[in-house]
Amino acid sequence: MAYPGSFDHQSSTNPAQLTRPGQANSTGDARALYLKLFSGEMFKGFQTNTIARDLVMKRTLRGGSSMQFIYTGRTTAEYHTPGNSILGNDQGAPPVNEKTITCDDLLISSAFVYELDEVLSHYDLRSEISRKIGFALAEKYDRLIFRAIARGARAAHPITKANFVEPGGTQIRVGTGNASEAYDAAKLVTAFYDAAAAMDEKGVSQDGRVGVLNPRQYYALIQQVGDSGLVNRDVQGQSLQSGQGIVEIAGIKIYKSMNIPFFSNYGTKFGTASATNPGKTSPGNLGSFVEAAVEDAANDVTGINNEYGEETEFANSCGLIFQREAAGCVEAIGPQVQVTSGDVSVIYQGDVILGRLAMGADYLNPAACVELLAGAAPGSTGNAAF
């Protein structure tokens, strides 16, 4: 019953007529006008651990475009004959040779940040862009050094004087000839012991010996060495899982990296098993950077002044073992990030964030370089002694 002057309310059998403050003009999405809160999290691009710079011989280049490294071979000992003068070794030993590493052209990575975008944005991208630029340079750094070491494993020593020849590089097959054996932990362990013995036989120092594998190899290996007692229990657990050189086999500290040459790719390779493919199934949705191929002459960018090898040269490469004398790196400009300011910022109303690096790398002592191969026939990589 309605009374005079009263409102005619909806009966309880009809839905309430709500005011939706999130709608624009009372129509459409009921949440359209609500504020979108920033979670504080940014999903970042690919980040990879870079390790090679601290594992080889690094020198700073000043006042020149290249750096000379001198090799000295061995000499001999002989018994003195009474009455004979001593005038030095009659064969002119020890023999001497050189290796020159040239600085490549300036490597850069950059981004322009518009000032108005920064003012309007509710999150800070400048520091994150700087980090990503640094990662791009560091990734290139590792890849060039690892390629140089792989080439050193196939090379003879620069000292080649008759009767004074110094030992060259070493290639070791993982398994019996199948590419899939690159992931066989037991065969990897055997290969590490073979590599240690080879370096001992060639007179390579035990100090600074390391091995670098791809992530799947590393994780397969730590299960094997953990079960077999090859790893001290004190370093198991979180340290063992980190991949930062905790595991050691025959005194060789083992790292993992996505930047080593691996069956002509960097770090990993998926697909059907073949002589040049270990046959792992891709986890899917990888992104374009994961299976990046080693550069060859067809897609190399100008600016490289050292020889780092072609894609086809790494068709069966699946790991590296080396000592710090294996390669040298010369730096004219170390990895650094620069940001514009002053008049430039005024003219363009923003800043350029620039990362730069000037370096070059090559192998030094081939005896300190060991390349692991899988699926390769003897002699197929150019080393007849393999």
Pairing of strands 317-323, 369-373: antiparallel
Express as a percent the part of the chain with pLDDT over 70. Answer: 83
Mean pLDDT (whole number) for 206-211: 95
- The confidence band for 386, taking pLDDT boundaries of 50, 70 and 90, is very low
pLDDT for 88? 81
74 within 8 A of 164, measured Cβ to Cβ: yes
171 within 8 A of 386, measured Cβ to Cβ: yes
Sorted by sequence, the CB contacts under 8 Å of residue 376 that are 6+ apart come out as 173, 177, 275, 315, 316
pLDDT digits (tens, 9 = 90+) for 122-132: 777 788 888 88
pLDDT for 22? 78
Residue 73 tokens read as 């071979």
- Greater confidence (128 vs 183) lies with 183
Query: What is the Cα–Cα distance from 326 to 313, expressed in whole angstroms?
Result: 19
Whether the per-residue pLDDT at 105 is higher than 90: the answer is yes
- The confidence band for 385, taking pLDDT boundaries of 50, 70 and 90, is very low
When the pLDDT of each residue in the chain is averaged and rounded to a whole number, the result is: 84
Query: What is the Cα–Cα distance from 113 to 129, expressed in whole angstroms?
Result: 9
- Greater confidence (38 vs 81) lies with 81
- Phi, psi (degrees; rounded to nearest 5) at 267: 80, -35
Mean pLDDT (whole number) for 126-152: 90
pLDDT for 198? 96
Read off the pTM.
0.84
pLDDT digits (tens, 9 = 90+) for 5-53: 555 555 556 777 777 777 888 888 887 877 766 666 656 666 676 789 8
> Per DSSP, what are the bridge partners of residue 152?
none
Whether the per-residue pLDDT at 382 is higher than 70: the answer is no
Query: What is the Cα–Cα distance from 186 to 47, expressed in whole angstroms?
Result: 30
23 within 8 A of 32, measured Cβ to Cβ: yes
Residues of 238-264 as b/e, b for ≥16 C-beta within 10 angstroms? eebeebebbbbbbebbbbbbbbbbbbb
Whether the per-residue pLDDT at 173 is higher than 90: the answer is yes
pLDDT digits (tens, 9 = 90+) for 263-317: 999 999 999 999 999 999 999 988 888 888 898 755 556 788 999 998 989 999 9
Comparing C-alpha atoms, which of 196, 168, 202, 201 is closest to residue 364?
168
- The confidence band for 383, taking pLDDT boundaries of 50, 70 and 90, is very low
Mean pLDDT (whole number) for 144-171: 94
Comparing C-alpha atoms, which of 381, 371, 316 is closest to residue 150?
371
pLDDT for 384? 38
Whether the per-residue pLDDT at 81 is higher than 80: the answer is yes
